[in-house]
Amino acid sequence: MNIIYTLRFFVVLSLYVHTLNAQEQKVETKKDSTKKSISKAEKESADKPVVRYMALDIHRRLGKVKRVRFYRGNELEFTLKGGRARYKGKILGVGENELFILGNSIPFANIDKIIVRNPSRFLYAGSLLLPVAGIGYFAMDMINPALDDSPKTRPFTVHREALFISGSLILSGIILHLLKKRVYRMSKRRMLRSLVQF
């Protein structure tokens, strides 16, 4: 045990002596190099133009904030205050308090609603395929008795079970279609901000 403590003592002592020698010889230490790199970064950042993005901050309960980011080139759908028309276009740029879109400068204060598309593939596939599956199931239920050779079946009859199943498939597709887009109305809890992109 004493050998391990002795080795540790000599290692710490040698490191201390090494740093003292480096300071006497005025060798550049880590602190000096970080100061120089910070000053270089400040000079470079002063030369570059500031690139901004728009953030939609959604304040939730218990102080939680959800942030939806919109960068230059993203597709944006929104409505203006005092109007019902929806505008859709690519973001050309973001200023301190304004948005450049559709060849115009629109202040954040004039935007009433922002429509955000949900990126889930399940929602898009389900909203398209489930109604088609419901219509197909209903059609096959009506056509299959006509193709059957047994004399007891009547062709083109509507069964209660087929209506229930195909109706539920179509309804679930419509619900998924409604969930594809989310509308955020601007208020005290939902604000647009311009932030600097790093």
Tell me how far CA of residue 38 lies from CA of 33, 46, 106, 178, 185, in angstroms: 9, 12, 36, 50, 41
Token pair of 50, please? Answer: 């500031």
Using one digit for the tens of pLDDT, what is the confidence trace for 149-195?
666 767 777 788 889 999 999 999 999 988 888 888 988 888 888 88
**Cα–Cα dist 160/21, whole Å:** 93
Model pTM greater than 0.75? no
* 72, 94 contact by CB (below 8 A): yes
pLDDT tens string 128-138: 999 999 999 99
| Residue 34 pLDDT exceeds 50 | no
